[in-house]
Amino acid sequence: MADDAISDNEVVGQMMFEKAQKEYPYLANKDVAYKYNPQENSPYMLEFYQGDDLPEWAKGKQSAIEVLNPKTTSLDILGDYVSHYGVNTDPQLQALYAQFQGQLDPKMMQERYQYHTQNFNEARPYDQWMQMTGLPEMFRGYTFNQWDDAAKMYSPEQLKTLDTVRSYLGIK
């Protein structure tokens, strides 16, 4: 194959990202590097990178999304972008994210952290885990349909905040 030939993975990946941008116009104008890199038996759907964490293929961008599982959906792509980057760069999402964070029960989050340490070999200190994993996953669970019966895990106040996020992002 010639160096400039386009692989099937690149075509599939580009179509997947274009579909996500059409389904969720919020993504349409985002300057994000994107790579489709399916990994057999990957436990992860996708990976998000930013700042000093950017891989070589994403240099020159502010953030990057690497899809690792072909079952990744447009909503998964939107969810990772929003929960790791949009909540820090979009003023409306920043405010809603802070509001949601203030609505979380600290005891419940400590229990989730313990669960992660026991079941996922989490070794980071609680504060770092909370910022990088705990808060983003709680924000995504209901908002981006990532958990079955997710609505049962949230208070009416939290659901109202997350429904505002869903409306803002065009999630039906």
At 71, give phi and psi (nearest 5°).
Answer: -85, 0
Separation between Cα atoms, residue 142 and residue 83, nearest integer Å: 12
What one-character DSSP code corresponds to residue 1? -
Spell out the per-residue pLDDT of the chain, length 172, in tens: 445 566 787 888 889 999 999 999 999 999 899 999 998 888 788 999 998 899 999 989 999 999 999 889 999 999 999 999 999 999 999 999 999 999 999 999 999 999 999 999 999 999 999 998 999 999 999 999 998 888 888 999 999 999 999 999 999 8
User: Model-level pTM?
Assistant: 0.86
**Token reading at 41:** 């038996």
Q: Is the dihedral of CA 140, 144, 149, 153 positive or negative?
A: positive
Separation between Cα atoms, residue 142 and residue 144, nearest integer Å: 6
Q: What's the pLDDT score for residue 41?
A: 81
Count of Cβ atoms closer than 10 Å to residue 27 Cβ: 23
- Grouping H, G, I as helix, E, B as strand and the rest as coil, residue 32 is strand
DSSP 34-98: EEE---TT-S-SEEEEEGGG--GGGTTSSEEEEE--TT--HHHHHHHHIIIIIHHH-HHHHHHHH
Question: What strands, in cross-sheet order, belong to the sheet with 32-36?
Answer: 32-36, 63-67, 46-50
DSSP 57-73: GGTTSSEEEEE--TT--
Separation between Cα atoms, residue 165 and residue 171, nearest integer Å: 8
Q: What's the pLDDT score for residue 1?
A: 46
